[in-house]
Chain A
Amino acid sequence: IAGITQAPTSQILAAGRRMTLRCTQDMRHNAMYWYRQDLGLGLRLIHYSNTAGTTGKGEVPDGYSVSRANTDDFPLTLASAVPSQTSVYFCASSHGENTGELFFGEGSRLTVL
């Protein structure tokens, strides 16, 4: 089934540890995004990539990094996790960079203790 796959689904992590959330899509979409979703707040963009080989910072990029080595994969790395990074993380993709019709993965629930 075509779509976006995220891993892990859920993770508990000690503060200070490094963590990479994986995201893979098989729709050949050029644009990909990482969002975090926190209770009472709208989705907030962390990083995005309009095409393979390029990335950009979103609204809340501090403490996170991404890479886009190919079209399909867009991993998000927390170099040294802090409790404020406890959240649900969604990876998304779109056909083009200037469209709001996004396709989301199922989310990764991350708890930093």
Chain B
Amino acid sequence: GQNIDQPTEMTATEGAIVQINCTYQTSGFNGLFWYQQHAGEAPTFLSYNVLDGLEEKGRFSSFLSRSKGYSYLLLKELQMKDSASYLCAVSDSNYQLIWGAGTKLIIKP
């Protein structure tokens, strides 16, 4: 079966750096996506990786290793507004998105 694993919850301190991991097992691979979802709101697109390596976008970076079935989202200079759930999703061989359950990130002052 297809599976996306990510930690349920993480806690970090304002101003610090946090890394949210995602491992996947899917039938085929056409890209990995990270979304941010604030409580009670819609998910919003953060990043897309299809080749191995690091993609940087401001305070957020996303890394992919296809051979290891592994990705991480790195958030730097954490702000209180970064408190949210972060969803990892993989596009499989049929271009269907398989979603992880999300990681709830709690930022403490």
| A72, CB-defined interface residue at 8 Å | no
Q: B95 to chain A: which residues have CB within 8 Å?
A: 97-100
Q: Tell me the nearest residue of chain B to A56, going by C-beta.
A: B96
Residues facing A in B72-103 (CB within 8 A) are 87, 89, 91, 95-102
Per DSSP, chain A at the interface is loop
Q: Tell me the nearest residue of chain B to A106, going by C-beta.
A: B42
Partner of A43, one of B41, B44, B48, B87: B87
- Give Cα A105–Cα B100 distance, bound, in whole angstroms: 19
User: Would A42 and B87 be within 8 Å (CB), given that A98-B30, A101-B48, A107-B42 are in contact?
Assistant: yes
Please encode chain A, from 86 to 97, with 1 for each CB lying within 8 Å of some chain B CB and 0 for all others.
000010000001
The minimal Cβ–Cβ distance linking B68 to chain A, given in whole angstroms, is: 20
Interface size class of A (residues with CB under 8 A): 10 to 19
**When the two chains form their complex, are residues A42 and B99 in contact, meaning their CB atoms are under 8 A apart?**
yes
| A74, CB-defined interface residue at 8 Å | no
Q: A40 to chain B: which residues have CB within 8 Å?
A: 101
Q: Tell me the nearest residue of chain A to B94, going by C-beta.
A: A98
Residues facing A in B25-65 (CB within 8 A) are 30-31, 33, 41-45, 48
Q: Tell me the nearest residue of chain B to A97, going by C-beta.
A: B95
User: Would A100 and B91 be within 8 Å (CB), given that A40-B101, A42-B101, A107-B42 are in contact?
Assistant: yes
- Give Cα A67–Cα B4 distance, bound, in whole angstroms: 30
**When the two chains form their complex, are residues B97 and A105 in contact, meaning their CB atoms are under 8 A apart?**
no
| Top 3 A-B residue pairs of the complex, sorted by shortest distance between their CB atoms | A42-B99, A104-B42, A98-B95
